[in-house]
Structure 1
Amino acid sequence: MTGHVAVRRFPTLTVSTPRAHIRPLVAADVAAVRDVFADKLTRRWLPLPAQGSIDPHAWCTEMAQERRDSGNGDHYGVVRREDDRVVGCLWTKRTDWGCRVTEVSYAMAPDARGYGLTAEAVDAVAIALILEHGFQRVELRVAPGNTASRRVAEKAGFTYEGLLRNAGVAQGGRVDLELWSFVAADLR
């Protein structure tokens, strides 16, 4: 059949950097994921209703499995090497297999912020997706007021492309989103 792309299972991804190991989340990560998503500053920028929350057990198990099996993405833990602790989460979503494009999002524990670890992890995942799994484009979407996330995009080597008006939800309401990208040509 022409014009149809078969649904693919999202590839297993494990990446190491000098300071972190990024791997799929497992049930043993529930407590760490709960702490990451419970942080007030993190919650400010999550696409949740004002009083909404993420079920950390489902996030690490059935939601991650469902996302992988559907081909839409995956959920990863960022494990800090110095203490072997999960200090953050990365997740891929909105995968378009025909165009070989996916979006990456992230959340880090408060004690892991401000050291460049998030940018290091996002950069490593984007490079692995392009070099090892044939993606052509990895996107980030950032609410304009989220300056820390904008710095992550810049430090990870992403390029700002423009503003998507009224394209997301944060703090329980509609927000514009900045679109950032990392493409295969950026590796040359």
Structure 2
Amino acid sequence: MSGHVALRRFPTLTVSTPRVHVRPLQAADADAVAKIFADKQTQRWLPFPQEYGPIEGLAWCTEMAKERRDSGTGDHYGVVRREDDQLVGSLWTKRTDWVARVTEIAYAMAPEARGFGVAAEAADALAIALILEHGFQRIELRVAPGNTASRRVAEKAGFTYEGLLRNAGHVHSGRVDLEVWSFVAADLR
């Protein structure tokens, strides 16, 4: 026995709900994704230090997504509103631990899609699919205190608040604590 864990490619996943499709991002989504990430409210809470500069939409939708998927650490998804086929958000999975069967979901929504429960619906659908179809046991969301909209998404998507990780993250303005929310396989029983 070598003691090495085999590298797993993150599963290709498409999920539909009554209002949205959650699917892997494509090159054609680049402009919409760049616009979402450039939004001032989104910028405030992005988990990337400001010195990284703006997220380039085409790279996020193609090479960065492929790299994350191929390395097994996660994937990048588009949230497409079914009524008009508009891309209105992006979800991404990260920090995947294949041994523990745990991954984290993050999201950013277009301003016109906020406040309608679209992010919660998409996050809930993705979490359930990861558990039921791909054997994950725990899905996490991490929310910066003060990001009340993201906290509402976690609550509406059925995640349970677990506690605060002190000085565990960063947003554009600097270091922050992070609330940890979870959705586990037992929640589906």
Give the TM-score category using the shorter length. over 0.9
2:49 and 2:141 map into 1 onto residues whose CA distance is: 21
Structure 1 residues 72, 82: CA separation in 2 closer, same or farther (over 3 Å shift)? same
Match of 1:12, SS state, is coil
> What amino acid does structure 2 have at the position aligned with 1:88?
G
2:3 and 2:100 map into 1 onto residues whose CA distance is: 12
Q: Is this contact kept in 2: 1:36–1:107, CA < 8 A? A: yes
Find the counterpart in structure 2 of residue 116 from structure 1. Answer: 117
- The runs of 5 or more residues in structure 1 that have no matched partner are none
Find the counterpart in structure 2 of residue 60 from structure 1. Answer: 61
Q: Is this contact kept in 2: 1:137–1:184, CA < 8 A? A: yes
2:145 and 2:84 map into 1 onto residues whose CA distance is: 33
1:11-90 alignment, distance < 5 Å: 11-50=11-50, 52-90=53-91
**1:53 positional shift:** 1.2
Of stretches 164-173 and 61-70 in structure 1, the one that deviates more from structure 2 is 164-173
**1:3 positional shift:** 4.7
**1:48 positional shift:** 2.4
Of stretches 166-175 and 144-153 in structure 1, the one that deviates more from structure 2 is 166-175
Match of 2:132, SS state, is helix
**1:27 positional shift:** 0.2
TM-score normalised according to structure 2 size: 0.97
**1:50 positional shift:** 2.8
Find the counterpart in structure 1 of residue 6 from structure 2. Answer: 6
2:108 and 2:93 map into 1 onto residues whose CA distance is: 12
Match of 1:53, SS state, is coil
Percent identical across equivalent pairs?
79
> What amino acid does structure 2 have at the position aligned with 1:29?
D
2:48 and 2:64 map into 1 onto residues whose CA distance is: 16
Of stretches 107-116 and 44-53 in structure 1, the one that deviates more from structure 2 is 44-53
**1:2 positional shift:** 6.2
Q: Is it true that 1:171 corresponds to 2:187 in the alignment?
A: no
- The runs of 5 or more residues in structure 2 that have no matched partner are none
Match of 2:163, SS state, is strand
